């Protein structure tokens, strides 16, 4: 039997890399089958090691707002690489980048660059703890903030899909400082705050959750959460690693109209390179070393290549604010097509969408939080995923993730996807 190049690569990879992948969701474990190895991408598509082409709706899990390898980012990288790859010393592009972030996201008065979303959230919680002198923090069931120990408690994303929302290796001590609340349930916050008076440093939330599928926090819930944080001296952190610069130029906070004290970013701000950032009120950020005593550092932080790609991406956003209308129009077209298919086949599966992030849950109940999200039939999602893949459509290989639309997905891409969606559902149901 002929085995594909991807399969050969996967066998080879497993000899040297745990599970053959450098991030668990990529291994296809929750949908079954074997992962594709990707050779190259351009625009809305990528090609695997066997030369098969796919319309890609992951876009590297969000950052490829303009599709794969946009010319303006490649040009910026080509220019930057001629000058050097890393200095571990300040460069001018870091100032331009920081200034641009503060301009696009007004709640961010000062910002520190790091290398990943995990680093950003980890550092933001440390900043909040250092600033308040308190240890505990609240996170929400099903929200994912990277893989620092104290976040891996009822976490979303890969941790949830692979059935280890709370990971071994997380000490009891770490877990004890993490308080768990229910998404969109303000009573659960009130209870935790009352039971841990003056002990809570921060509440961290994905204001639009993207790691238990896509779920929007309700307006009143966020407003009340903001007031409670103000009254109790708790730092409100918005994890905008997925939503920052994707759902609006000012992120989820712009469309939801709530101002956090700190925000975390990743992915998009590196234009596809490994970058993260955390920032917010100067009062808090000025407690970070070397100005203040809260230590945080990194040799590759503010790396000139990552900054150049990221600056090109953010500058493009600044100069083309209409991209969010375009993304809305494109995403609505795709979502409409999906909705019509569901109607045709008589299924009322929950579909959520905020701008260019969307999710189809295999449950007919409304999805508003972790408990309702996990009602989705993940086995059915796995079948759906493979049927879509067979037809050249690459979706997230896990139910509890988002589908991302880019500015370069075409009507032709969408029509092909809508058609494949219909065929897939007919075959699996
Ligand atoms: N946790 C990421 C999605 N929410 C997946 C990261 C990856 O595999 O690249």
Over residues 199-224, the pLDDT tens digits come to 999 999 999 999 999 999 999 999 99
426 C-beta neighbours (distance < 10 Å), count? 12
What does the pLDDT read at residue 164? 62
Instruction: List the one residue out of 219, 269, 213 whose CA is nearest residue 240.
Output: 269
The preferred substitution site among 28, 35, 61 for testing ligand 1, maximizing ligand atoms within 8 Å of CB, is 61
162 C-beta neighbours (distance < 10 Å), count? 16
CA of 28 to the centre of ligand 1 (A): 12
Ligand 1, CB cutoff 6 Å, lining residues? 23, 25-26, 61, 157-158, 211, 401
As given in the structure block, the two tokens for residue 287 are: 């407690």
Report residue 153's pLDDT band, with 50, 70 and 90 as the boundaries.
Answer: confident
- Active-site residue identified among 267, 281, 383, 387: 267
What does the pLDDT read at residue 336? 98
As given in the structure block, the two tokens for residue 289 are: 């070393």
CA of 102 to the centre of ligand 1 (A): 26
pLDDT tens profile 265-322: 998 999 999 999 999 999 999 999 999 999 999 999 999 999 999 999 999 999 999 9
Give me the CATH topology for the region 71-319.
3.40.640
| Distances in whole angstroms, Cα of residue 336 to Cα of each of 79, 328, 341, 352, 358 | 41, 12, 9, 11, 12
Which phi-psi region, left, alpha or beta, contains residue 241 (left: φ > 0; alpha: ψ -120 to 50)?
alpha
Query: What number is the average pLDDT over the span 171-183?
Result: 89
Judge whether 5-69+322-428 and 71-319 match in fold. Answer: no
Give me the CATH topology for the region 5-69+322-428.
3.90.1150
Residue 267 a catalytic site member: yes
Instruction: List the one residue out of 364, 365, 375, 360 whose CA is nearest residue 424.
Output: 360
Q: Which residues, 6 or more positions from 15, have their beta carbon under 8 angstroms from its beta carbon?
A: none
For residue 77, pLDDT beyond 70: yes
What does the pLDDT read at residue 48? 98
Query: What number is the average pLDDT over the span 15-35?
Result: 96
Q: What is the b/e burial string over 99-118, where b = at least 16 CB atoms within 10 angstroms of the residue's CB?
A: ebbbebbebbebbbbbbbbb
CA distance 174 to 136: 10
- Active-site residue identified among 29, 48, 57, 144: 144
Minimal-distance CA residue to ligand 1 atom 8: 23
What does the pLDDT read at residue 154? 77
For residue 152, pLDDT beyond 80: yes
For residue 1, pLDDT beyond 90: no
CA of 119 to the centre of ligand 1 (A): 14
Helix (H) or strand (E) holding 304: helix 304-319
DSSP state of 212: S
pTM score over 0.85: yes
Beta strands 45-48 and 53-56, pairing class? antiparallel
Residue 239 a catalytic site member: yes
What does the pLDDT read at residue 170? 83
What does the pLDDT read at residue 162? 64
Domain locations in the chain? 5-69+322-428, 71-319
pLDDT tens profile 341-398: 999 999 999 999 999 999 999 999 999 999 999 999 999 999 999 999 999 999 999 9
Among 120-124, 145-149, 233-237, the least confident range: 145-149
The preferred substitution site among 57, 157, 161, 206 for testing ligand 1, maximizing ligand atoms within 8 Å of CB, is 157
Report residue 83's pLDDT band, with 50, 70 and 90 as the boundaries.
Answer: very high
Residue 422 a catalytic site member: no
- Active-site residue identified among 48, 56, 177, 239: 239
Q: Which atom of ligand 1 is nearest to the CA of 158?
A: 1
Among 10-19, 128-137, 153-162, 219-228, the least confident range: 153-162
């Amino acid at each position: 039997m002929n085995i594909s190049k991807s399969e050969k690569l996967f066998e080879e990879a497993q000899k040297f890399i745990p599970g053959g992948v450098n991030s668990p969701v990529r291994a296809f474990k929750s949908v079954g089958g074997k992962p594709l190895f990707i050779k190259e991408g351009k625009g809305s598509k990528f090609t695997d090691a066997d030369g098969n082409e796919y319309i890609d709706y992951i876009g590297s899990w969000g950052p490829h707002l303009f599709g794969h390898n946009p010319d303006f980012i490649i040009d910026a990288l080509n220019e930057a690489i001629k000058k050097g790859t890393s200095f571990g010393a300040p460069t001018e592009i870091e100032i331009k980048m920081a200034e641009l972030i503060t301009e696009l996201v007004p709640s961010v008065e000062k910002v520190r660059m790091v290398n990943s979303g995990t680093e950003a959230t980890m550092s933001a919680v440390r900043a909040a703890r250092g600033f308040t002198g308190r240890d505990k923090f609240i996170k929400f069931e099903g929200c994912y903030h990277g893989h620092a120990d104290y976040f891996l408690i009822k976490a979303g994303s890969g941790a949830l899909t692979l059935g280890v929302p709370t990971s071994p290796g997380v000490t009891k001590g770490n877990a004890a400082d993490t308080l768990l609340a229910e998404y969109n349930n303000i009573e659960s916050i009130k209870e935790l705050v009352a039971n841990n008076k003056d002990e809570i440093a921060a509440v961290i939330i994905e204001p639009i959750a993207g790691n238990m599928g896509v779920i929007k926090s309700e307006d009143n819930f966020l407003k009340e959460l903001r007031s409670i944080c103000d009254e109790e001296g708790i730092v409100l952190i918005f994890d905008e690693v997925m939503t920052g610069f994707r759902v609006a130029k000012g992120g989820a906070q712009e469309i939801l109209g709530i101002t956090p004290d700190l925000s975390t970013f990743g992915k998009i701000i590196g234009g596809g390179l490994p970058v993260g950032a955390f920032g917010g009120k100067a009062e808090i950020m000025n407690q970070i070393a070397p100005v203040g005593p809260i230590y945080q550092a990194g040799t590759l932080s503010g790396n000139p290549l990552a900054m150049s790609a990221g600056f090109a991406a953010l500058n493009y956003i600044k100069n083309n604010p209409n991209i969010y209308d375009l993304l809305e129009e494109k995403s609505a077209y795709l979502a409409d097509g999906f909705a019509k298919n569901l109607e045709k086949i008589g299924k009322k599966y929950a579909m959520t969408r905020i701008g260019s992030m969307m999710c189809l849950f295999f449950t007919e109940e409304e999805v508003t939080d972790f408990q309702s999200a996990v009602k989705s039939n993940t086995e059915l999602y796995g079948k759906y995923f493979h049927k879509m893949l067979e037809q050249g459509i690459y979706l997230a290989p896990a139910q509890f993730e988002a589908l991302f639309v880019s500015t370069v997905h075409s009507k032709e891409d969408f029509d092909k996807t809508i058609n494949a969606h219909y065929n897939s559902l007919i075959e699996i149901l």
